[in-house]
Amino acid sequence: MGSEAEGLWPLLAPQIARWEETAPADLAGADALDALDAPLLAHLDRHREPLARWLEEHTTPPGGAAVEGEPAEALARLEVRWLQSYNQFLDLGDESRRALVALGRRALREAGEALRQTGSRAELGAALAAVSAGHRAGVTRLYTALRAALPGEDQAVGAVVRCAEYSPALQLSLLGLDADTLAGPVLDLGCGEQALLVEHLRARGVEAFGVDRAAPPGPHVEARDWFAASLPRDRWGTVISHLGFSHHFMFHHLRGGPQAARYARRYMEVLQSLKPGGAFVYAPGLPFLEPLLPAATYRVTRRPIAGVEASGGVAPYACRVERIERVA
């Protein structure tokens, strides 16, 4: 990366931060996001040709072979993380990610053309603002389509459904677990960006690992969603998921979407990944599913959650499903 491009990233940080602070539902009217900060515009104006050449070299052309490490891929990863941070139920699969990369490539090609084809700094700023507006409109269209695809979509579900990270003490207490007696190894399914519980358990000598689509990859954390996580049979002593996997499963079950069957299959794969005597401990509980588990194979224990009102006649609870014999 040339020095001109390296100098660009610190200047882009405030622009990116303003975008991340904007809810996706408000993006269409957020015209102020398109204006470039003066230091950023000055840098772009001073280094027009080297930056245009760098963009050209690092952006996959239409119909061309993919360029490794292109900025459009990095931009798409930021946008996926931003969208899911505002609505955790959005289905940002491969198709959506490819659409975001395509939008990014188009915007970067147009930015390169603006660097070469405009005259004054003011003209460059106006051209780049138009590029930003076009990209914003494309992302808005994608977000609108993703919201429309949510099962049982309504305003209560579709606007903002943010993830939160809870303290290890709260998670263990709600799930009825003691870090000193957990059967290992432990998998936190949906461990959160900071993997707080994983780090807490490892600090206490527990062999713990985590999986989360928002987490940076590390020696003990997989940066992927729970459908892509490796779940070999007879692997885990304890699998934990606090307001994660079962929360999403419940969402899709209640709204009758096609994802519900996918979650049911994955749920059984989690159970089959337990060692004999191992347990899947999660909240919220899944009252529509747990009674169907074979009693000779799984022991189900419900733990009421104090201070939370019942919904649909069912009081919320945490659930422990223990494997009591080998699954054939």
Q: Is residue 202 part of a domain?
A: yes
Own/partner pairs for 3-7, CB < 8 Å, 24+ apart? Answer: 4/43, 4/47, 4/50, 4/51, 4/54, 5/50, 5/51, 5/54, 7/43, 7/47
Q: Is residue 283 part of a domain?
A: yes
125 and 186 in a common domain: no
Q: How far apart are CA 117 and CA 213, in angstroms?
A: 40
Among 158, 186, 209, the domain-final residue is: 158
pLDDT at 187: 97
pLDDT digits (tens, 9 = 90+) for 222-269: 988 899 898 999 999 999 999 889 988 988 888 777 788 999 999 999
Q: Is residue 328 part of a domain?
A: no
Average pLDDT, integer, range 199-217 = 91
140 and 64 in a common domain: yes
Q: Is residue 176 part of a domain?
A: yes
Q: Is residue 163 part of a domain?
A: no
- Top-ranked range on mean pLDDT: pick from 108-112, 164-168, 305-309: 108-112
Domain ranges, residue 45:
3-158
99 and 177 in a common domain: no
pLDDT at 274: 96
Q: Which two tokens stand for residue 83?
A: 């969208």
pLDDT digits (tens, 9 = 90+) for 26-66: 999 999 999 999 999 999 999 999 999 999 988 887 776 66
28 and 149 in a common domain: yes
- Give how many domains the chain has, as a whole number: 2
CATH number for 238: 3.40.50.150
Q: Is residue 314 part of a domain?
A: yes
57 and 194 in a common domain: no
Residue 157 has pLDDT above 80, yes or no: no
pLDDT digits (tens, 9 = 90+) for 134-144: 999 999 999 99
Q: Is residue 25 part of a domain?
A: yes
Average pLDDT, integer, range 117-131 = 96
Among 129, 158, 187, the domain-final residue is: 158
Among 158, 188, 211, the domain-final residue is: 158
Residue type, 26: D
